[in-house]
Amino acid sequence: MFGQLVLSGISQGSIYALVALGMTVVYRATGVVNFAHGEFFMMGAFVLYVLVQLAGLPFYAAAPLAVILMFLCGKAVERALVRPIALAPHIIIAMMTVAVSYLLRGVARVFWGREVLPMPQVFDLPPLQLGEVILTAQDLVIVAVTLALMAGFFLVFHRSRFGRIAQAASANPRGAALIGIDVDAISGNMWGIAAALGAVAGILVAPITLLYPDMGGQVLIRAFAAMTLGGFGNLGGAIAGSLTVGVLEQLAGTYVSTAMIDIFAFIVIIVALILRPNGFFGKAEVARV
Amino acid sequence: MSDAILAAGGGRRGGAARLLAPAAAALALLALPWFTNDYVQYIVNLILAYGLVAVGFNIVLGYLGQLAFANTAFFGVGAYAFGILMERYGLPFWAALLPAALAGGLTGLLIGLPALRLKGYYLAVVTLSLGELLRWGYIHGDTLTHGSSGLAIPPSTLEFLPLPEDAQRYYVLLIVGGLVLWATVNLLRSRVGRAWVAIRENEFAAASLGFSPALYKVAAFGWSGFVVGMGGALFALLIGRVAPESFDLHQLLLQFAIVMVGGLGSVVGSLLGALLLTAAPEVLRNFPGAEEIVFSLLLIGVLLFMPHGLSGMLRRVFPRLRERLYRSRP
């Protein structure tokens, strides 16, 4: 029982990690916390649903297409709504992402107002049985994709030229622009990549959960919890935080009360931030007056 | 209620006009119930309640400049405290209003304390979480809140007033809301309001001038909680039922949109925003998604094209409407 719970917690936590990764990418590159990221996740799942169920594409064609479409969607949001106010205080940009989040959710609700859509299974493999613990193919795929993407982004951010340029653009946009870095293009691409990552997460969970317009908010708050544990902008912290939230949530839901699953993330956020306002792995912010 | 502000903000004007305009406005407000039917009166009442809520939310969002979404928490606590006091302890509605607002204010102080350590996004996330946590509490607090079915407000009419129910409530709202608003406007024009704006503009500079950011922040949260809590109690009185779904993210969107469309840091703006947007959900509710799309597009439009909202535009056209942070000349 305990082992099974930990494993499904890890699988859930991997999804949170992917969502947190998308938010971290935007945060690292532009300093913006994207409250609309949950909706990128939701849209990814719904675009896949439309492509597979309504357009009749096979999954292996539909999934990459959905990721590409969401990449473009992310870029469009950045270009049309975020870039015009890029110089405004961060609180204004955060408000904009809140507005975008509601907008995307509203659009989804126009089409799927009160429906809850099931998505057919993709990986029709028999589950692995290890002793008492059962592992489904979907769980394995989720964890593997998350690990691969995490490793990739870690390398990009810390080892590649592009990663260093992106960091420079975020740390000092004006200085970066002065030495010839196209800050706007980097910001646009980072939003695109984040939306694509959100879509990947949405596509991965679509077959194991139901699709509904509010699904993004549920995941977003857990990714937030993970990021507050790990410290905003910290990739390793986001993974550790996500897995912690995923596993603890399963344990609390089983051993304490099922109702705990709904609010566990909120409690984590509140307790973590009151104890450690900069996250458990975060560094204290130094402000220059 | 806005006439007082408009008049006071108008600066030097002719003596007669200075007295006549507010008097005419006050008369119009007092006579309003004779020109409305029940439904219109209900909407007018809701507008007053939301105007109060928006002013309270604006204290933290606009004047103090903190991205805190604790308003749904204050709103819900005020409404539930009001409902529980009436339904469980049998208080008449006029006696339950002040304790309900005080409960909101206490929540504000409690949320204000952790808010001292948090800034920006962290604060937004924590306050959002607290609101959702409280909503979970309403759903699961069976004996007090009656869970997701909500609690019904007992009938609350004033026997001695020979007026229809909605008109009675209108006058209650006018008096209670007017008093709270008057207190808020005066507070904003005092040292306290100036300290809030100073903290918004530059916390370190404000501290160097001797304003303790901690003290004034907690005070802002507390007063915001009181005002929004009072708004919540009045809302409960109008709706006649307190249920968890009234305090969800749609409520947050509506209140947020009212403040932003009206203009950050403007009392007149918040009242204008409430006037324009309060009735919108009544119309939009029948079309799934419409509420979210319309309000989010409004928010996006405001953020992109008029960062100071309607009040900013009005101020440009009529410079006399500028709301000062100091008292009018004697």
Q: Express as a percent the part of chain A with pLDDT over 70.
A: 94
> Quick one: closest CA in A to B289, which residue?
A106
pLDDT at residue B323 tops 90: no
By the CB < 8 Å criterion, does A259 face chain B?
A: yes
By the CB < 8 Å criterion, does A255 face chain B?
A: no
By the CB < 8 Å criterion, does A99 face chain B?
A: yes
By the CB < 8 Å criterion, does A274 face chain B?
A: yes
Q: What's the rounded Cα separation, in Å, for the pair A255 and A108?
A: 35
Q: How far is A113 from chain B (nearest CA, A)?
A: 5
Mutate to test the interface with B, among A232, A266, A285 (most CBs of B within 10 A): A266
Nearest one of A218, A267, A190 to A45, comparing CA atoms: A218
Q: Are strands B241-242 and B151-152 parallel, antiparallel or unpaired?
A: antiparallel
pLDDT at residue B234 tops 90: yes
pLDDT at residue A95 tops 50: yes
By the CB < 8 Å criterion, does A289 face chain B?
A: yes
Mean pLDDT of A220-234: 85
Q: What's the token pair of residue B306?
A: 């008029």
Q: Express as a percent the part of chain B with pLDDT over 90.
A: 43
What confidence tens digit (pLDDT) does each residue in A4-62 have? 888 888 988 999 999 999 998 888 878 888 999 999 999 999 999 999 888 888 888 99
- Mean of the per-residue pLDDT values for chain A? 86
By the CB < 8 Å criterion, does A217 face chain B?
A: yes
* CB within 8 Å of chain A, chain B residues 238-267: 249, 253, 256, 260
Mean pLDDT of A139-148: 88
Confidence of residue B11 (pLDDT cuts 50, 70, 90): very low
pLDDT at residue A229 tops 50: yes
3-class state of residue B242 by DSSP: strand
Confidence of residue B10 (pLDDT cuts 50, 70, 90): very low
Mean pLDDT of B118-122: 77
pLDDT at residue B319 tops 90: no
CB B62 within 8 A of CB B281: no
> Quick one: closest CA in B to A288, which residue?
B204
Confidence of residue B295 (pLDDT cuts 50, 70, 90): very high
Confidence of residue A278 (pLDDT cuts 50, 70, 90): low
Confidence of residue B9 (pLDDT cuts 50, 70, 90): very low
Q: What is the CA radius of gyration of chain B?
A: 19
pTM of the model: 0.87
Q: Express as a percent the part of chain B with pLDDT over 70.
A: 94
Q: What is the pLDDT of residue B187?
A: 93
Instruction: Count chain A–chain B contacts defined by CB atoms under 8 A.
Output: 114
Cβ burial B48-58 (10 Å sphere, 16+ → b, else e) = bbbbbbbbbbb
Q: Which residue has the higher pLDDT, B158 or B302?
A: B302
Range of weakest confidence among A73-87, B42-56, B151-165: B151-165
Q: What is the pLDDT of residue A30?
A: 80
Which residue is associated with the tokens 């009005």? B314
CB B280 within 8 A of CB A99: no
Q: What is the pLDDT of residue B155?
A: 81
Phi, psi of A260 (to 5 degrees): -60, -30
Mean pLDDT of B225-245: 93
Q: Which residue has the higher pLDDT, A141 or A128?
A: A141
Whether ipTM tops 0.90, in short, is no
By the CB < 8 Å criterion, does A220 face chain B?
A: no
Mean pLDDT of B195-224: 92
CB-CB under 8 Å, A99 with B299 = yes
Q: What's the rounded Cα separation, in Å, for the pair A17 and A227?
A: 9
Q: Which residues of A touch B265 (CB under 8 A)?
A: none
pLDDT at residue B4 tops 60: no
Q: What is the pLDDT of residue A281?
A: 62
Cβ burial A74-111 (10 Å sphere, 16+ → b, else e) = bbebbeebbeebeeeeebebbbbbbbbbbbbbbbbbee
